[in-house]
Chain A
Amino acid sequence: MTDATAATGAPAQARRPFASLLTLDEHTKRRNATEARFKAYGLAAVLAGLFFLVVLFVSIISNGIPAFTRMVVELDFTLTQAQFDEAESQLLKTGAYQGYFVEGFDKALEERGVEVEYDAAVLDRLIGKVGGIMREFYAANPDKIGEEVVFELPTSSRVDGYFNGRLKREDVSDSRFLEASDLDLADELYEAGIIKSDFNWTFITGADSGVDNPGGAGIGASVVGSFFMMIVVLALSLPIGVATSIYLEEFAPKNWFTDLIEVNISNLAAVPSIVFGILGLAVFIQFAGLPQSAPLVGGLVLTLMTLPTIIISTRASLKAVPPSIRDAALGVGASKMQSVFHHVLPLAMPGILTGTIIGLAQALGETAPLLLIGMVGFVARGYPDSFLTGFTEANSAMPAQIYTWAARADASFYEKAWGGIIVLLLFLMTMNIIAIILRRRFERRW
């Protein structure tokens, strides 16, 4: 352009040549193109992200939903007092109940007009030995003797898999667990409405059941384990974290020592979680002698992990409170402590709460350190006896339970693992929603 003006012999203070505003010049065109490209990249990234999110959700839900349903054999059954007395007097009591069950089963088939040949061993393979279950029921509810009772008996995991499509008939190799011909009976029963689909409450309320019984496995006990851990994490990390941040941000002198502490806190946030696990094993279990696999220890380890997150976010939100508010408080004669607790802290509250809940959500999903301190899935065999023993009794936590299930050979545990992930995500979503609500509630308009 300088050349051009020089060539036309323009005066030294070269004026820009006339340019119409109605046409875009080269420079503007290039700038606009760059901007459009940048927007396109952004949009593409968002769309790709959404796509993968949808894929993730679809696969989690489609894999996990079967864990929430199960196939049950529904049977109306009446046990007479005479039968009860007779069974209880025999040597093999559960065997007697099994006999009554087969009788009742035959009657039910007859009533619904199903004509099919089978032997008792097939029933064993389809629903296992139910005599024990029935005896337990009548021992607990003696008043039900003589009344009609509806039994819902879960089918074996293979039959379950056959009905929800996991197991194909042609893949069945005859074994003591299932023979391909058993499925004919299963199909007949399904059409007759004796086998039907039911919501799997055991999965919600149950405990881990052991390698050979996927049907009885539930996530309930490890949800309770996670709950007790979260109580420990919240009760320790929120007060310690907030107090630390207030001291460092508002009261501590700024010198090399506090700088060192600050750098170390930031670094701790990036330490791999398994390191905290082995630290917990060495310090809390081996040195301090706390019980192994206890939610208390898990909570302590996760507290160590959560503290840096809470401290960093709390300090950031304290810093974001405008200094004019501190000046105002000091100006009317408030002490440092009063200005912090009456004015600065309430204003920083939304940020602190958000940071805390993000920290808790992180802790809730942490697996590696729990495996090291013994909170593995198969430990979650039942509910604690009381609230206090909930902290010390061996238990697992949701992510560790999911990990254990995913590692098991039986394919129906795989489905439980996906189901467990759905439960875990529900908890995380709830926590995030609570965070948003609290944030809205505490936010003040300026």
Chain B
Amino acid sequence: MKTMLTEADNTVATVPAAGPRDTKIKARKVQVYYGDTHAIKDVDVDLEDKAVTAFIGPSGCGKSTFLRCLNRMNDTIDVARVEGEITIDDEDIYDKKVDPVQLRAKVGMVFQKPNPFPKSIYDNVAYGPRIHGLAKSKADLDVIVEKSLRRGAIWDEVKDRLTAPGTGLSGGQQQRLCIARAVATEPEVLLMDEPCSALDPIATAKVEELIDELRESYTIVIVTHSMQQAARVSQRTAMFHLGELVEFGDTKEIFTNPTEKRTQDYITGRFG
């Protein structure tokens, strides 16, 4: 299973980035209600495989809410209700037969605030593979942990202190550890909810670089408040406002030639 995945990674790496890309996630007429509040209205969006899609928009516009619909994290909020259709690989993730736990193994998530478990660095990364039974032996697990930490671009900094607590790292290192933890379960989609909002510019640059590398293997969706970040890391951008999807297209298009007045106003800093 693991070797197959590695081969797949290689294939992706050798194929030129150009050419039409597949749609990984499809959302149709998605509505989200928090009690009586209608938080997301009629969102239709197609997210491409092996690409970074950025969600931008002013605070409270629903971009994080929509992101949390993609791995059903909204299920944990009692009052939240989701309507409409979201499919991953043409399978409806809100189907009654879908177990959200299985879904979340496929759709990993990185949160706004770095939230490593108060355990060792090794255990932080090994936890996912352990509970999903990805490693047959201790040696297997060691391989997965090293590979994930390398993917998270933090291996060189922590390889000598894998038993040290993950909470003892700096903020930027913690966030990269969380990314390593997320990729350790071999997800296909990676959701990032403002992953750099708690980081300084140097740590941010490292995480952005990392996102660019990870794009080759995963479908990445990133919520960000930074226009520059969206422009730097994403290929596609979706602009949300007041729970509606205002505009969705190639990042270059959106930033140089937006069709909607609201998008233009937001990215030029006239509101939000």
Residues of A near any B CB (own CB < 8 A): 253-254, 322, 324-335, 338, 342-343, 347, 444-446
Report, as a range, how many residues of chain B touch the other chain: 20 to 34
Chain B neighbourhood of A254, CB < 8 A? 78
B181 on the interface (CB 8 Å rule)? Answer: yes
Q: List 20 A-B contacts (CB under 8 A).
A: A325-B117, A327-B109, A328-B111, A328-B115, A328-B117, A329-B117, A329-B127, A330-B73, A331-B73, A331-B182, A332-B105, A332-B108, A332-B184, A333-B104, A333-B108, A333-B128, A334-B101, A338-B131, A343-B117, A445-B168
Judge whether B111 and A331 touch: CB under 8 Å: yes
CA–CA, A330 to B76, complex, Å? 9
- B116 contact set on A, CB distance < 8 A: 328
Q: In this complex, what residue of A is CB-closest to B71?
A: A331
B118 contacts the other chain (CB 8 A):
yes
Which residue among A322, A331, A334, A347 has the maximum number of chain B CB atoms within 10 Å of its CB? A331
Provide the residues of chain B in CB contact with A446, threshold 8 Å.
Answer: 118, 167
A-B interface, 4 closest residue pairs, ranked by CB to CB distance from nearest: A333-B105, A324-B115, A332-B128, A331-B109
Q: State in angstroms the CA–CA spacing of A326 and B78 once bound together.
A: 15
Q: Is the beta-carbon distance between A342 and B109 smaller than 8 angstroms? A: no
Q: Is the CB of B165 within 8 A of A327?
A: no
Given contacts A332-B128, A333-B128, contact A327 B73 (CB under 8 A): yes
Where chain A touches its partner, the secondary structure class is helix
Q: For residue B105, which residues in chain A have a CB less than 8 angstroms away from its CB?
A: 332-333
Which residues of chain B are within 8 angstroms of A330 by Cβ–Cβ distance? 73, 76, 104
Take A332-B127, A335-B101 as given contacts and tell me if A444 and B118 are in contact as well, using a CB distance cutoff of 8 Å.
yes
Q: Which residues of A contact B153 (CB under 8 A)?
A: none
Residues of A within 8 A of B165 (CB): 444-445
Residues on A with C-beta less than 8 A from B101 are 333-335
User: In the complex, what residues of A have CB within 8 A of residue B167's CB?
Assistant: 445-446
Cβ of B52 under 8 Å from chain A: no
Closest chain-A Cβ to B258's Cβ sits at a distance in Å of: 33
B residues sitting closer than 8 Å to A (CB atoms) are 71, 73, 76, 78, 101-102, 104-105, 108-111, 113, 115-118, 127-128, 131-132, 165, 167-168, 178, 181-182, 184-185
A78 to B199, CA, bound (A): 89
Name A327's closest neighbour in chain B (CB-CB). B111
Report the separation of the CA atoms of residues A331 and B108 in the bound assembly, to the nearest whole angstrom: 6
Which residue of chain A is the closest to B125 with respect to CB atoms? A332
Q: A327-B73, A445-B167 are in contact. Are A333 and B115 (CB under 8 A)?
A: no
Contact partners of B132 in chain A: CB under 8 A:
333
The smallest C-beta distance from B74 to any residue of chain A, in angstroms, reads 11
Contacts of A444 in B (CB 8 A): 118, 165
Provide the bound-state CA to CA distance between A376 and B104, in Å: 60
Q: Which residues in A have their C-beta under 8 angstroms from that of B168? A: 445
A331-B109, A333-B185 provided; 18 other pairs, C-beta below 8 A? Answer: A254-B78, A322-B115, A325-B117, A328-B116, A328-B117, A329-B127, A331-B73, A332-B105, A332-B181, A332-B185, A333-B105, A333-B128, A333-B131, A334-B131, A342-B131, A444-B118, A444-B165, A446-B118
Q: How far is the CA of A333 from the CA of B99 in the complex (A)?
A: 10
Give the residues in chain A near B104, CB-CB below 8 Å.
Answer: 330-333
Q: Looking at the complex, which one of B111, B127, B181, B184 makes contact with A324 (CB distance below 8 Å)? A: B111
Interface centre among A324, A334, A446 (most CB of B within 10 A): A334
Q: When chains A and B are docked, how far (Å) is the Cα of A174 from the Cα of B263?
A: 109
Distance (whole angstroms) from the CB of A136 to the closest CB of chain B: 63
